[in-house]
């Protein structure tokens, strides 16, 4: 059975997609960009501040799915510039101190709202 996951504590979907979808205990989170859900605007600052906001948004969607970062098994990090990889990696690692998920990271031409980063992930309920 397919269940749509939504929370007001993360940015609203700005298109025809859901914040996350659960199917058979797997939760597929749509890419999160560094939007502050309270203001609806991109957070100010560089890659560290933007990565931290993205991870907070992911945490809120995971929470709405009754999960946490420990349930994440795969992440995909999209960067506007690979020169930001090390700084992004430092902040990202704060959220996964052990049992880190599998991950891919690569640069793309551009991201929505000129964000520096977008992260999508997959979580599994019963780990």
Instruction: Say what the pTM is.
Output: 0.96
**Using CA atoms, how far apart are residues 50 and 123, in angstroms rounded to an integer?**
22
**42's tokens:** 């991109």
> What confidence score (pLDDT) does residue 14 get?
78
Is residue 15 pLDDT above 90, yes or no? no
Q: How many domains does the chain have?
A: 1
Average pLDDT of every residue of the chain: 96
Rounded to an integer, the average pLDDT of 63-87 is 97
Whether the pLDDT of residue 103 is over 80: the answer is yes
Domain that holds residue 13: 2-124
Query: Coil, helix or strand for 76?
Result: strand
pLDDT for the residue 46: 98
Query: Percent of the chain having pLDDT more than 90?
Result: 94
In this prediction, residues 120-124 reach a mean pLDDT of 98
Q: How far apart are CA 118 and CA 67, in angstroms?
A: 20
Q: What is the CATH number of the domain that holds 17?
A: 3.30.1330.40
Residue 126: pLDDT band by 50, 70, 90 thresholds?
A: confident
Q: What average pLDDT does this structure show over 79-104?
A: 97
pLDDT of residue 85: 98
């Amino acid at each position: 059975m397919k269940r749509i996951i939504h929370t007001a504590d993360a940015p609203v979907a700005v298109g025809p997609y859901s914040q996350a979808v659960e199917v058979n205990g797997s939760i597929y989170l749509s890419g999160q960009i560094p939007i502050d859900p309270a203001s609806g605007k991109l957070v100010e600052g560089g890659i560290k501040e933007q990565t931290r906001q993205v991870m907070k948004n992911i945490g809120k969607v995971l929470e709405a799915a009754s999960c946490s970062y420990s349930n994440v098994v795969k992440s995909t990090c999209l960067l506007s510039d690979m020169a930001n990889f090390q700084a992004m990696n430092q902040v990202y690692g704060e959220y996964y101190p052990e049992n880190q998920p599998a991950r891919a990271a690569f640069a793309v031409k551009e991201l929505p709202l000129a964000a520096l980063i977008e992260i999508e992930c997959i979580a599994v309920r019963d780990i």
